[in-house]
Amino acid sequence: MSQYTEFEGKSVEKALESASKTLNLPVEKLQYDIISYGSSGIFGLVGIKKAKIRITTSDFKGGSQIQKEARSKARDLVKDAFEVEDDGEESAVSPTIEPASETVSVDLQAVAQHGEQALQKIIDFISEGSRVASQQTNGRITFNVEGGNSALLIGKRGQTLEALQYLVEKIINKQNDARIRVLVDVEGYLGARKDNLQRLAIKMAEKAQKTNKPVTIGQMNAYDRRIVHLHLKDNQAVRTQSVGDGYYRKLVIFPKRRRGKSSH
């Protein structure tokens, strides 16, 4: 199955030069399609668009090597941030990503700009073509990442995305007395993840009620567990509890005892 990598430049020639340098291949050996020729805009000020090409990377060693190196960088990022070993087991030291309640009295705009620059430098090592933007709401800074290889930036079960958030949060709060809440999202992943988890919570709660037995949802991070806990907190028929040690724990949904009936 073919794999592709996209490159941009002021012109098609510049994009090809970038691809040649990155893939360590001469331009004449590149197999590419032109996505857009770019535009110099009006007087070179308004409406400027970069040229974009798509390189077929599955037919030569360089392309597969680029993919391997990117995945390796993503794994290293997760390992460094969470102290996770290659087999997926985490150490007793785990980051706290659940929202804090502190009131922040700092220049969030300046802090957000600093965070944007730091996050951009980090993701540039993992995926090309990604762009970072930020917004401040209720004392929390949300960094939105668009473009590039979103699957690679999110990672398995969102682990790379969590690592990105953890690192940016550490960078930002290293220079501030009060903890600033940070959220990093890639291509709207967190919103879609929340919707899926809420649907799963309802489904598993209904199963627990129907079978009158506890139902376990696989290993989940703190952010995901919190979504399920909050979504089911007003459900009078079940209760939720996190079990296990470490950062990734299981979440169990227990049916509440029915009046007039004994459990078996």
What is the per-residue pLDDT for 160? 87
The angle at the Cα of 95, spanning 91 to 100, to the nearest 5 degrees, equals 155
Q: Which whole number is the average pLDDT over 110-119?
A: 89
**What residue segments make up the domains of the chain, in order of their start?**
4-59, 66-187, 191-255
Q: Which of 127, 250, 135 is nearest to 185 (CA)?
A: 135
Evaluate if residue 2 carries a pLDDT over 70: no
Domains 66-187 and 191-255 are alike in CATH topology: no
**Sheet strand arrangement including 32-36:** 4-9, 51-56, 32-36
Q: Lowest-pLDDT range, 55-64, 94-103, 113-122, 180-189?
A: 94-103
Q: Kindly list the strands in the beta sheet with 238-243, ordered across the sheet, starting from the edge strand earlier in the chain.
A: 215-220, 249-255, 238-243
Residues 6 or more apart whose CB falls under 8 angstroms from that of 235 comprise 205
What is the average pLDDT across 30-45? 67
Name the pLDDT band for 96 (thresholds 50, 70, 90): very low
Mean pLDDT of the chain: 77
Q: Which has more pLDDT, 91 or 24?
A: 24
The band of 75, judged by pLDDT with boundaries at 50, 70 and 90, is low
Is pLDDT of 84 > 50?
no
Domain at 66-187, CATH homologous superfamily: K homology (KH) domain (3.30.300.20)
pLDDT given for residue 3 in this prediction: 60
Task: Supply the pLDDT for residue 171.
Answer: 86
- Mean pLDDT is highest, among 21-35, 134-148, 211-225, 228-242, for 228-242
Higher model confidence: residue 83 or residue 168?
168
The domain covering 191-255 belongs, at the CATH homologous superfamily level, to R3H-like domain (3.30.1370.50)
pLDDT at 99 over 50: no
CA nearest neighbour of 184 among 232, 135, 218: 135
pLDDT tens, position by position, 209-227:
999 999 999 888 888 899 9
Please list, residue by residue across 49-79, b when 16 or more beta carbons sit within 10 angstroms of its beta carbon and e when fewer do: ebbbbbbebeeeebbeebbeebeebbbebbe
Quick one: pLDDT at residue 79? Answer: 61
Tell me what pLDDT residue 223 has: 83
